[in-house]
Structure 1
Amino acid sequence: MDGHHCDGTVMINHDKKNISVFDFFCGCGGTSRGFQKAGMDIAFALDVDKDAKNTFTKNFPSTDFCDKSIKKLTVLDFQHTLDKYKDSYKLFCGCAPCQPFTKQNTESPKQDERKDLLTYFGTIVKECEPDFVFVENVPGLQKVPNHKHGPFPAFEELLHKLNYQIAYGVVAAQDYGAPQLRRRFVLLASRHGEISIPEPTHGKDSDTPYKTVYDAIADLPAITAGESYAGNNVLNHRAAMLSEINLERIKASTHDGGGRNNWPRALWPECYTRTNEDGTTHSGHTDCYGRLWWKKPATGLTTRCISYSNGRFGHPVQDRAISVREAARLQGFDDTFEFTGNLNSMARQIGNAVPVDLAFAMGKQFIKHIEAIHG
């Protein structure tokens, strides 16, 4: 390693082969941004979502982008990129959409075609045999067996047949510097010897405390619900509108972690005033309509992370939900990263992204692995 840029990016000694990344479910670019910060070249990206494509290409203008479905992809579609980066190590990312494996998913496993995406990714890995493979998904991906149409057992078997050494498990993004509580399944695979999941860098088992909401967003300018910050120095600092009753609700919530337990009964939504069969009040989702805490990591961001009523996404002290930029910071995106699309689309892109800090830690682990190869 030569050292670090002032933005934290690790610089590679280019006398050695660098790692080029092929990001097959790139979304808006969380994995790619993390790997780029770790010092890798983002060579190729694929996604079928038009808004995600527009965001990705705006932030990675030199990356070859393909908007084909992976189900129709052939190696010919990115052969020119493979040729362009023929002298580097290849790392293939397969962070497929995770909704089919979430606890909240109510679709039949047989009906959700997204379950096959890891299998199609496996076909591309088999044809190209890249040096490294990275997969990120929800905890539970690895627990769905073959007979329930789980793709992971066959994918793991394929990697072993192709002589990859693999390491996988469930990690917490906050353990690697993300200011957000988010448990994820990760897999790292290498054709160049044994590889392992990196040790946590933050939290109770390290010398560095967890990053908090305060660390991430406290310095951003104050705005009101429905307002877009007008300055050019902060991109996408825009908050969703609040209805009159939701504005009353958040004003009735105490600063720094307050929620509907602070409200007078008249402000309760109807769904929280229903009684159960035993006469107790239906409690509902306790985080809905909640404010974030300053001195804790944020709760896990979802695709509705800028909606006050859809989780603990209220600003700790301002009477609004968090803005697009605040959500982006909680996912680890730097302020130069610009999102495109309407408000709901930007929130969906951010909620679906791999936390940048988590990807950065995994990227550094692959680079450390390469350095070990070179002695």
Structure 2
Amino acid sequence: MGKGSKRKHQKKIDESIDSESETQTQGLTTLLDPPKPKKARKVVPDSDLCLVGPPIAPAEARQRWPHRYQSKNKVKKQAVTEASNDEENEVLQARNHYVEAIVDGCRYKLGDNAYVKAEDGNLDYIARIVEFFETVDQEPFFKAQWFYRAEDTVINKDNAHLIDKRRVFLSDIHDDNPLNCIISKVEIAEVAPDNDSAAKESRIPDSGLYYNMKYSLQHLTFKNIFTETSKKDNGTSSVVSSECGSNNTSSEVQRFDKSQKYLLDLYSGCGAMSTGLCMGSSLAGIKLVTKWAVDINSFACKSLQWNHPETKVRNEAAEDFLCLLKEWEKLCQKFSLLEPNKPSETVSSETGEEDDDDDDGQGCEEEKEQEQEKERQDDSGSEDSSEEFEVERLLDICFGDPNKAKKRGLYFKVLWKGYDKSYDTWEPIEGLSNCEERLKEFVSKGYKSNILPLPGSVYFICGGPPCQGVSGFNRFRNSNAPLEDVKNKQLVVYMDTIEHLKPRYVLTENVVDILKFAKGFLGRYAVGRLVSMNYQARMGMMAAGSYGVPQFRMRVFLWGSHPSERLPQYPLPTHEVFSRGGVPIEFEEIHVTYDKKDSCQLESALTLTDAISDLPQVNNDESRDQRNYGTTARTEFQKFIRLRRKDVINLTVDSRHAPSLGMLCDHQPLQLNPDDYDRVCHIPKKKGANFRDLPGVVVGENNRVEWDTTMDRVLLKSGKPLVPDYAMKFVKGRSTKPFGRLWMDEIVNTVVTRAEPHNQTVIHPSQNRVLTIRENARLQGFPDCYKLFGTIKERYIQVGNAVAVPVAIALGYSFGLACQNLCGDEPLMTLPFKFPNCLARSSQIEGGDSD
């Protein structure tokens, strides 16, 4: 990665400053552009500067700076270390050290901050003076620890407007500079990151500069500077203040249940990310509960609800959900439920169970229907026919246009007195002006049961906002203004939701293209939004295969944490999987992996044999979505992935799950049409086989396919060609993916959302069909007991869009340590367990073989 924001020592120290020789910095402007050496300017004549006072005692100086007293030469080369952040670690050797210096008549002490002259046309640099010394050639130098402006960090100049211009960040970059580069003193206030606006303004000096975070190039980390005034207070919780102008009101309440922590899963899909996070948290001793989940796909919502009956699942667009949250807060304020000193009325037991009324207002109505129907029976048909209708009860709430009448707003689902559920309607709040008591009843009950999150009531938000505008398949990508593309607006909605709810922790997932497209603009924007809200932030890229599944699948994960919380680390790999590209060169240092110099014992990468060799054979036209296994587990992976639901950590079991217990679900392939099935049958059952092995195709120069001119084109029974034109033209004839057959000793690149074999390698190694939904689910780390709903195509989409479960488990464990203040300051940590063994509730479980 371009080592942005780093000053590099002059290779020729003895060249004069007047000749504008190289200084010790690399580019302070970007992490993507090639670094450009900075050039210091001589601003003070040598006669106007000097080191002041008696030198520090030699014994003390050698103890504090031993690396300065190792050679009589002017420069000594030392081994490069990761912590040094230097490409060349050339250390100036010292004759003496001092505690003060005078530059242009101004006295400087160790610890003072100063402006340092930059090249013409650039803003002057800002440094903290951490060392004064005289070289062996009797030249006065100082060691600087650099402050970065927002544009000097990963946030970049394009997103620097998100950050207060007066705010700077203390970096971990140190280097040596001639004393005559100092221009003037500057006062920089250290401000607690969770201060309110008035407290912050009172501390900012006349210079207008302040800081409350450190910035490190290691995983592009923004981290708190903990002081006595900003240490974590486990008994209280301050609200995250924002630089974007949001107003903190008394409605921001802390309603955390000490026995469990609430998670909101935005863009939840079928729930893989939140499922893994909760599993990993439980392994760390934390009860994390997915209290709310939101997704626009109704089939994904049904899958999540079936597997997590404890979750309030809402099938709606994220932007409508955010509008709803704002309206819900107003309603709670209206009925005086958010008084500053009012105690929390959250109803829960130590097991996290709520009373029977907690489901009122929930997006999914299936479990309430019987109760509602029973309540209606006494009143049904008892009223005389009339033009007036009476509201018996409000059932649900939403924001949007549920009646498809092109009238967006706040709506309530109404149960009409004397009518059954078939007459329930969505009514705008304006039409309920005469139903104040019913409205108050609904809001009060919903507040008690947490049907919707309020600011301060969410402990953790996770989500993968879709950014389809960055996809390489999108021919109309807007690289000049990515946020103006409607396909990228969900990232803004996601960040706006975080700003509204102010959770303690945030985890954002996205495709690697978010760092590739438009010089990583959207990834930088995400970091900038978090930092502007005073969240600590850290970025990493993780490959799913490195955590125990036979799939490479690289994804970006961005941590955010409240100023008073520990910033979670990234768990290091447990399995050895070699990179297949996909890591942007400019961001390769955020790849979560072991350093090449480190010795570590990793498990071997898993293959398709490990994951799917036990599954029963099925045909292209398999119609059963549930069946007996009829086989036994052959590998350790299969033993644990087949665990019964009751034996899997953090999964609940109730009556709805009974029909599926011990059964194999979703083992169905996408049924290919007769022509494609015929083509698949012609693909040889050998490693690396694809359409190039079919008659009529030859591979020419530059690995491009050509038609075999010595024979006629082979036709199918239907009369269509065996080798379609699109296969020959795909990627200009250089691709081997069309009708590609996988092999059992392989690891796949990534599980996809579409199972068509036209431009993908998705054919089963030994059977003439594509991989089934369940086979794909295993490659993503889903336990077999995790059942999916919807059409076959919809279930493929749910699996393909999911976060790999073992990656989410690893991140959940890291979160669990952080929220208990058990993690270190370094960005990486090791896991004490491996997937899928960690799925078992008990290490005593013998296996998951089923009949």
TM over 0.5: yes
Alpha-carbon offset, residue 272 of structure 1: 3.8
Aligned amino acid, residue 556 of structure 2: F
Alpha-carbon offset, residue 195 of structure 1: 2.9
- In the other structure, the counterpart of 1:196 is 569
Alignment of 1:82-97 (within 5 A): 90-97=459-466
1:253 aligns with 2:681: no
- In the other structure, the counterpart of 1:32 is 274
Q: Conserved in 1, the CA contact under 8 Å of 2:456 and 2:502?
A: no
1:123 aligns with 2:496: yes
Given the alignment, which residue of 802, 811, 814 partners 1:353? Answer: 802
Alpha-carbon offset, residue 151 of structure 1: 4.1
Alpha-carbon offset, residue 309 of structure 1: 2.5
- In the other structure, the counterpart of 1:51 is 299
Q: How far apart are the structure 2 equivalents of 1:335 and 1:85?
A: 35
1:241 aligns with 2:671: yes
1:285 aligns with 2:735: yes
**SS of the residue 1:297 aligns to:** coil
CA separation of 1:240/1:274 partners in 2, compared to 1, >3 Å: closer, same or farther?
closer
Q: Conserved in 2, the CA contact under 8 Å of 1:254 and 1:262?
A: no
Given the alignment, which residue of 15, 20, 30 partners 2:262? Answer: 20
CA separation of 1:178/1:16 partners in 2, compared to 1, >3 Å: closer, same or farther?
farther
- In the other structure, the counterpart of 1:6 is none
Given the alignment, which residue of 525, 537, 545 partners 1:174? Answer: 545
Alpha-carbon offset, residue 16 of structure 1: 6.8
Q: How far apart are the structure 2 equivalents of 1:166 and 1:135?
A: 11
CA deviations 1:78-126 (Å, max 9, x no partner) are: 9653889999971101211243222222233367423111111111211
Q: What runs of 5+ residues in structure 1 fail to find an aligned partner?
A: 1-14, 276-280
Aligned amino acid, residue 105 of structure 1: N
Q: How far apart are the structure 1 equivalents of 2:769 and 2:452?
A: 50
CA separation of 1:107/1:303 partners in 2, compared to 1, >3 Å: closer, same or farther?
farther
- In the other structure, the counterpart of 1:136 is 509
Q: How far apart are the structure 2 equivalents of 1:87 and 1:115?
A: 27
- In the other structure, the counterpart of 2:602 is 207
- In the other structure, the counterpart of 1:344 is 793
Q: How far apart are the structure 1 equivalents of 2:468 and 2:300?
A: 17
Moved more, 164-173 or 101-110: 101-110
Alpha-carbon offset, residue 234 of structure 1: 0.7
CA separation of 1:82/1:240 partners in 2, compared to 1, >3 Å: closer, same or farther?
closer
Q: How far apart are the structure 2 equivalents of 1:82 and 1:144?
A: 38
Aligned amino acid, residue 32 of structure 1: S
**SS of the residue 1:239 aligns to:** coil
Q: How far apart are the structure 2 equivalents of 1:126 and 1:349?
A: 28
| Same amino acid, percent of matched pairs | 28
CA separation of 1:363/1:44 partners in 2, compared to 1, >3 Å: closer, same or farther?
same
1:271 aligns with 2:271: no
Alpha-carbon offset, residue 282 of structure 1: 4.2
- In the other structure, the counterpart of 2:618 is 223
Q: How far apart are the structure 2 equivalents of 1:355 and 1:105?
A: 24
Alpha-carbon offset, residue 318 of structure 1: 0.9
Aligned amino acid, residue 69 of structure 1: A
CA separation of 1:134/1:84 partners in 2, compared to 1, >3 Å: closer, same or farther?
closer
**SS of the residue 2:758 aligns to:** helix
Given the alignment, which residue of 452, 476, 484 partners 1:107? Answer: 476
Bigger proportion of residues as strand: 2
The structure with the larger Rg is 2
TM-score (norm 2): 0.39
Q: How far apart are the structure 2 equivalents of 1:98 and 1:87?
A: 27
Moved more, 319-328 or 69-78: 69-78
**SS of the residue 1:54 aligns to:** helix
Structure 1 runs, 4 residues or longer, greater than 6 Å off: 82-89
CA deviations 1:313-348 (Å, max 9, x no partner) are: 101111111111111111111111111111111111
Q: How far apart are the structure 1 equivalents of 2:534 and 2:609?
A: 45
Aligned residues between the structures: 353
1:161 aligns with 2:515: no
Q: How far apart are the structure 1 equivalents of 2:729 and 2:531?
A: 53
CA separation of 1:153/1:183 partners in 2, compared to 1, >3 Å: closer, same or farther?
same
Q: How far apart are the structure 1 equivalents of 2:501 and 2:729?
A: 56
Q: Conserved in 2, the CA contact under 8 Å of 1:145 and 1:153?
A: no
TM-score (norm 1): 0.84
Q: Conserved in 1, the CA contact under 8 Å of 2:457 and 2:501?
A: no
Q: How far apart are the structure 2 equivalents of 1:175 and 1:85?
A: 37
